[in-house]
Amino acid sequence: MTRLGIREGGFLDAPSLDGVTGWARLRLTLGAPGAKRWYPGALISQVFIIGFILVPILTQLPAPGSWFWGLAVVVYGALFTFSFPVAMALPDRWRWVPPAGLLLLSLPFLVVLGPDLSGLWTYVAVSAALCFGGDFRAMLAVIGLSAVSFVMNLVDGAFQPTSTPPWTMPLIILSIGTLMAAFTRNLQTLAQLRRTQKELAVVAVEEERNRVARDMHDILGHSLSAISLKADLAAKLADRDPAAAVAEIHEVQTLARATLGDMRAVVSGYRQVRIASELASLRTLLPAAGITAHLPMTTDDVPERNRELFGWALREAVTNVIRHAGATNCWVMLSPGRIAIEDDGVGPAPRPADEPAGTGLHGLAERAADAGGALRIGRSRHGGFLLEVTA
């Protein structure tokens, strides 16, 4: 991020200037949102120039000198108005050029017309505050201008005593310059907060999209596997045991309705999976798939904070056992901070190191990481697949 910003929407914002050079770059900054907000204030501030510098020059100096110096004051005011947009077009290391140009242009006024015109340095201080983004360089410029102005007015007052104290104009330069530097820093902070807010909103949308995708995969994968198993079983029982087939069909209907409810809960953000309910469903689902289930009798030792994570782990693991393992046995080991699911099937297939894990395992790894835990997969003691989640 540059000191003057690169996005639209704030006072100090400039358009994106990547790849833009020359006059096209300058045209963009002259019409930037930040510049358009700057112009009215810059023009209104020149009432000071008109009242305290231009009018005295035109009324107290003889012509044609009054017209020459009056025109020079107008040019000075115009350059001040465009100093900030010009600075937006410059690289950071060249941001000193516009305030330095104003300072050089003011020197003939002070040399010829006297230190009373050090009020022009107020505009140099304001330009430096904006062009430097209110940082330490701006404060050094403001303090330096105030100090030099004080010395000049003090020396001038020693030779030409006046009723105006020598610290009057330096104090004006210091106060206005410091105020603008602080104001600029505050504006930059607000602009950064707006950008951060937008980035957080994008991240939140992406996280919600990932949550829905992950939950839909886990829920549909498990539920459709169960429905498929029950439907196959009902088809096999249809001829020899119609009553049992009807019972299985009723379970299919129940599963389908539950899946629909789960999908609605995912969309609304209220879907929860619990380890106890998952174990209860596995006591009938695994035998229906021809797999002997070796399950813990209770989940009382599992703390509340781990029950949902372990429920998701159990659902993902058993879905893979039913679909891919070709296993005849499935073991579930449960402790307060760990769940492990093993089978005696074909085991994990070889996978290149750079190949990503499946969607379900990737989503489970994210869930474990969010809970401060970890996912481990490998070959079980029984020759099949091992899935372990610690929290």
CATH of the domain at 362: 3.30.565.10
Q: Are 283 and 291 in contact (CB under 8 A)?
A: no
Indicate whether 229 belongs to any domain: no
Residue 184 and residue 303 share a domain: no
Q: What is the mean pLDDT of residues 94-108?
A: 92
- Domain count for the chain: 2
Residue 215 has pLDDT above 70, yes or no: no
Q: Is residue 63 domain-shared with residue 176, that is, in the same domain?
A: yes
Q: Is the same domain home to 35 and 155?
A: yes
Please work out, in degrees rounded to the nearest 5, the angle formed at the alpha carbon of residue 349 by the alpha carbons of 345 and 355.
Answer: 150
Question: Is residue 86, in this structure, part of any structural domain at all?
Answer: yes
Question: Would you say residue 45 lies in a domain?
Answer: yes
**Residue 75 has what pLDDT?**
92
Query: Which of 142, 166, 200 delimits the end of a domain?
Result: 200
Average pLDDT score over residue span 288-308: 85
Of 60-64, 166-170, 217-221, the range with the lowest mean pLDDT is: 217-221
- Do 177 and 57 lie in one domain? The reply is yes
* Residues 6+ away with beta carbon under 8 Å from 186: none
Q: Note the pLDDT of residue 267.
A: 57
What's the first-to-final CA gap in the chain, in angstroms?
39
Q: Is the pLDDT of residue 10 over 70?
A: no
pLDDT at 102: 93
Residue 59: which domain range?
A: 22-200
Cα 13 to its chain centre, rounded Å, is 17
pLDDT at 217: 65
Regarding whether 35 and 173 lie in a shared domain, the answer is yes
Same-domain pairing of 56 and 169: yes
Say what percent of the chain tops pLDDT 70. Answer: 84
* Sign of the dihedral through C-alpha 35, 40, 41, 42: positive
pLDDT of residue 278: 80
HSE, CB side, 13 Å, CA atoms: give it for residue 391: 28
pLDDT tens digit string along 21-64? 778 888 888 888 888 888 998 899 888 888 888 888 888 888 88
In a domain, 367, yes or no: yes
pLDDT in tens, 130-159: 988 888 899 999 999 999 989 988 888 777
Same domain, 27 and 146: yes
Peptide bond into 64 cis (omega under 30): yes
Last residue of a domain, one of 147, 176, 200: 200
> What pTM, to 2 d.p., does this model score?
0.55
Is 228 a member of any domain? no
Question: Which one of 200, 219, 239 terminates a domain?
Answer: 200
Query: Which carries the bigger pLDDT value, residue 289 or residue 129?
Result: 129
Mean pLDDT of 327-332: 90
Question: Does residue 352 fall inside a structural domain?
Answer: yes
Same domain membership, residue 183 and residue 50: yes
Residues 192 and 305 in one domain: no
Residue 192 lies in a domain: yes
Residue 256 lies in a domain: no
